[in-house]
Amino acid sequence: MQLMTEKGAAGGGLRERKKRATRAALAEAAVRLAAEHGAEKVTVEAISAAAGVSVRTFFNYFDSRDEAFVVIDADAGARMRRAVLEAPADLSPLAALREAMAAELAEAEQQHELWRLHAEVLHASPHLLARGVGAHMAAEADLADAIALRLRGDGDTGGDGPGLYPRLLAAVAGAAVRTSMDHWSAHQEEAAFLDVFHEVFTLLAAGLPAPSA
């Protein structure tokens, strides 16, 4: 789940907030330019100019031009992992993951246009889409590790990886976010995004009972 947000910035100092703001500006500039002109025609110089920074500054945040199109917020995964691990002990793994994701998605309605453009950019370029899928899988694996650590409580995910339950929970939660976004996008006048998001997780927590006729 690649998130376009500056959530968590309040927890850092001024320098950290400025760094997050610069990265967000570069990512937004990259996505908007790619949506307008096609990713293959967008240069690092153009992205940097649109964000009001130097090319040198660009490479302080991204290793390559393509990374700016794909990795919108490199810190989102670490923030969610930390939130899962630090959630109150009485929360179930699903509830801990729900709260971690909700914190990242709090600005989803304001960021909806950029999310849509980001998806368009990735789907218009097969190699960027492949990198995006890879980034999503890596983020999902990190969440599974965090869930496993929370369940074990001993700081060790085990030699064989996080295990079936953590992997399934991380994958299902990712699908729940996508389903929430798709549904809300088609019914924005009916409910706020976070209300849809919480409804989806309520259904998951209940075991996905069939809706009444």
* Per-residue model confidence as pLDDT tens for the chain (213 residues): 444 444 444 445 888 889 889 999 999 999 999 999 999 999 999 999 999 999 999 999 999 999 999 987 777 888 899 999 999 999 999 999 999 999 988 877 788 888 889 989 999 999 999 999 998 899 999 999 999 999 987 555 556 678 999 999 999 999 999 999 889 988 888 999 999 999 999 999 999 888 876
Read off the pTM: 0.80
In 3D space, the residue among 6, 9, 25 whose CA is nearest the CA of residue 17 turns out to be 9
Helix (H) or strand (E) holding 163: none
What is the identity of the amino acid at 179? T
Per-position b or e across 10-40, b if 16+ CB within 10 A of its CB: eeeeeeeeebbebbbbbbbbbbbbbbeeebe
Spatial separation of the C-alpha atoms in residues 49 and 29, rounded to whole Å: 9
